Structure 1
Amino acid sequence: PTTLPPTTPPASAGCSAVYKPVGQWSGGFQGEVEVTAGSGAIRGWTVTWRWAGGQQIISSWSATVTTSGSTVTARNANYNGTLAAGGKASFGFTGSGAASTPTLSCTATA
């Protein structure tokens, strides 16, 4: 039998996302999310989270944001999806309801 030489796995093309509160007022708030590529370059990213208190997205920028019930999905804009390893992109939004810090999930397109 033929033995193949070991191969080095490709660098991780994952991503992470961090929520940063920007401002809050009666009945609304503004937030920003920073996306960071993992140890490999990525061609796109998607960040998802669930609101726990009935919050709604009013407007967004630097991402395409959609909602389904309490679930929010943000996909990169055409100009900020390609990131080098460790590269960063951010997007922002305004929302209605009480500000809270959601738990984010980031999925990368390699």
Structure 2
Amino acid sequence: MYARDAAGNRSARSATVAVTTDEGGTTPGVGCSVGYRVVNQWSGGFQGEITIRNTGTTKIDGWTLGFAFANGQTVTNMWGGTPTQTGGSVKVAPASYTSTIAANGSVTVGFTGSQSGTNAAPAAFTLSGATCAAAA
């Protein structure tokens, strides 16, 4: 992720954000990690990429990804999934070709978005209702 100052100068790239779940919950064999990164950024817009990894021992079918933007960002187009957004809250349903995530497999969705000012990464993600906490 990059930031821009008032003169339009771009900062050094920020690190990729990764989150992971605690498999100690009520569903054995289920776990996830989510990587979020800004691939490119320009005045008023950006391109992002989200990689969802199934860290569990069973496949995941028909997932829903949830996250929230804190700085007014809006998803304008997505491939690999279908977004719905209310305010900063975003839900992503999978495309037919990304709906199953094999055990120890992953899928990636990409998107373009609009933004003004700060373009902070989402702080947390959920996958089919399970909270994915930020990895240390």
Is TM-score (shorter-chain normalized) higher than 0.5? Answer: yes
Q: Judging changes above 3 Å, is the alpha-carbon distance between structure 1 residues 38 and 93 closer, same or farther for their aligned structure 2 residues?
A: same
Deviation at 1:63, TM superposition (A): 0.3
**Aligned residue for 1:29?**
46
Question: Which residues of structure 1 form unaligned runs of 5+?
Answer: 1-8
1:1-110 counterparts in 2 under 5 A? 11-39=28-56, 40-98=58-116, 99-108=119-128
Question: Residues 26-63 of structure 1: CA distance to partner in whole angstroms, max 9, x if unpaired?
Answer: 01111000001122211122211111111111111110
Deviation at 1:100, TM superposition (A): 2.0
Question: Equivalent pairs: percent with the same residue?
Answer: 38
Q: Higher relative contact order by CA 8 Å / sep ≥ 6: 1 or 2?
A: 1
SS in 1 for 2:104: coil
- What's the TM-score, normalizing by structure 2? 0.66
- What's the TM-score, normalizing by structure 1? 0.81
Instruction: Compare CA radii of gyration and give the structure with the larger one.
Output: 1
* CA RMSD in angstroms, aligned pairs only: 2.0
Query: Is the strand fraction higher in 1 or 2?
Result: 1
